Amino acid sequence: MSDIGHVLVLAGGLSYEREVSIRSGRRVAEALRSAGVDVEIRDTDATLVPAVLSDPPDVAFVTLHGGAGEDGAIRSVLELLGVPYVGATPDACRVAYDKPTAKAVVRSWGLNTPDSVALPKETFHDLGAAAVLGRIVDRLGLPLFVKPSRGGSALGASIVRTAEELPAAMVGCFAYGDTTLIEKYVEGVEVSVSVVDLGDGPVALPPVEIVADGGVYDYAARYTAGRTEFFAPARLTQEATEACAAMAVAAHAALGLRDLSRTDIIVDETGRPYFLEVNVAPGMTETSLLPMAVEAGGRDLGALCTSLLEVAVRRG
């Protein structure tokens, strides 16, 4: 057995990504067990706090996606309980999880990100949707990418190619959140760069290129094996690969993240990368990008997770 002690993997929760989180949690737990780690997997419900108080784990691995898992809430609770955990602090999570805020921060660090506007649904209600949407199309042009300001797995996200498609996209977006992020859509190669920091500074893993059938990397494309073709490492030139790696590491640093993160990037036709968003609790399922990057980097997921837990334990 490993000497990390008793590891608590948190998975499930009440966010829309509960199912994905449960799969991520099981995958991480399995990888850790195969590395000889003593693992317990738990949902975040009313039994969590009493259970942790009566039998405190030595360290926690958060595989909760969306909501409390990524907005810092669960990490705050872990701090209250005195349990070290893998990943970013609550403060950093709050900033990173809110996509418009994260974009503003990375842009202030000089990173390139598509022009966008973020608006709560009340604005459309109070000022009139047609007028506001018309102005957005005028300013940002078409196509656009519409997504909730928080959340993941492409839930509520859609590409808008004509102004007529915009109202339905807004309804789909507001189904999953109360604020929308409307971004200029950049055509290009979709890549995802995972960053890990095992105590020697953040390092980018090989970028993973995503080619979804039909061109849209939606929920079905993400979680149905076979619906998307992945290239790890991405089919990028050395220069573009390095630019993506630098962008992911810079975003990790700019947002004050720790241990691991995953940055989603679009590389346009000139080879220029655009920051789209960052994930503080990246998916760990069989079709998720971080495990692919780990493998492409010649590492073992269980060994990597164990190293991340060791870092967290040392940090205390």
Partner 1 sequence: MTKELDHGRTNAAQGSRIDAYVDRYAARAAGMVASEIRALFAVASRPEVVSLAGGMPYVTALPLDLVGELVADLVATRGSVALQYGSGQGDLALREQICEVMRMEGIEAGPDDVVVTVGSQQALDLITRIFIDPGDVVLAEGPSYVGALGTFSAYQAKVVHIAMDDHGLIPESLEETISAVQAAGERIKFLYTIPTFQNPAGVTLNEVRRRQVLEICRRAGVLVVEDNPYGLLGFDREPLRAMRADDPEGVVYLGSFSKTLAPGFRVGWALAPHAVRQKLVLAMESAVLSHSSFTQLAVGQYLATQPWREQIKSFRELYRERRDAMLAALDVLMPPGCTWTRPGGGFFVWATLPEGLDSKAMLPRAVAERVAFVPGTGFYTDGDGKRHMRLSYCYPEPDRIREGVRRLAGVVEQELQLRDTFGTGSMPGHVGVDTPGPDLA
227 binds partner 1 (CB under 8 A): yes
- Looking at beta carbons only, is 14 or 80 nearer to partner 1? 14
Interface residue with partner 1 among 130, 161, 215, 314 (CB under 8 A) is 130
276 binds partner 1 (CB under 8 A): no
State how far the alpha carbon of 93 is from the alpha carbons of 13, 78, 102, 182, 278, in Å.
17, 14, 10, 21, 10
Per the CB < 8 A criterion, the answer to whether 27 and 286 are in contact is yes
Size, binding site for partner 1 by CB under 8 A: 63
The yes-or-no answer on residue 54 being catalytic is no
218 binds partner 1 (CB under 8 A): yes
Determine whether the annotation assigns residue 279 to a binding site.
yes
18 binds partner 1 (CB under 8 A): yes
271 binds partner 1 (CB under 8 A): yes
282 binds partner 1 (CB under 8 A): no
Q: Select from 70-78, 79-87, 104-112, 118-126 the region that touches partner 1 (CB under 8 A).
A: 118-126
Backbone angles phi, psi at 268, to 5 degrees: -80, 180
Backbone angles phi, psi at 111, to 5 degrees: -85, 150
Q: Could you give the 3-state DSSP secondary structure of residue 189?
A: strand
State how far the alpha carbon of 283 is from the alpha carbons of 20, 23, 144, in Å.
7, 9, 25
Find all residues with CB under 8 Å of 148, minimum gap 6, and list them: 155, 156, 157, 173, 174, 176, 177, 179, 180, 181
DSSP per-residue codes, 7-35: EEEE---SSTTHHHHHHHHHHHHHHHHHT
Determine whether the annotation assigns residue 178 to a binding site.
no
Q: Which residues sit at the interface with partner 1, rule CB under 8 A?
A: 14-20, 22, 45, 121, 124-125, 129-130, 153, 155-156, 158, 165, 167-172, 174-176, 188-189, 209, 211, 218-220, 222-237, 239-240, 243, 267-272, 286-287, 292
Residues belonging to the binding site for Mg(2+) are 264, 277, 279
Q: Which residues are catalytic?
A: 17, 153, 288
